[in-house]
Amino acid sequence: MKTIKEIGTAAMLVALLGGLTACGDMTTRQRDTVVGAGVGAAGGAVIGGRALSVLGGAVVGGVIGNQVGK
């Protein structure tokens, strides 16, 4: 079980770093939305550890990141 979590964590980090390279042409508001969603997803994973917590954290973080850029 520990090995599966390690593989999942490594895959998530690779996907995150790969996704961040696509942020070059984004506006500041779009970038803030993406960063907020990422931070919210990480927070949801730490707090709840379930898929619904991660998804909820990503949504809330994305909305907050979007509104900060206004």
pLDDT at 25: 79
Q: Tell me: the pLDDT tens digits for 3-38?
A: 777 777 777 777 777 776 766 778 888 888 888 888
Q: What is the pTM of this model?
A: 0.65
pLDDT-derived band at 41 (thresholds 50, 70, 90) equals confident
Distances in Å between the alpha carbon of 31 and those of 20, 50, 60? 9, 26, 15
The Cα–Cα gap between 35 and 41 comes to 10
What is the per-residue DSSP string for 14-64?
A: HHHHHHHGGGGG--HHHHHHHHHHHHHHHHHHHHT-SHHHHHHHHHHHHHH
Q: Are 40 and 60 in contact (CB under 8 A)?
A: yes
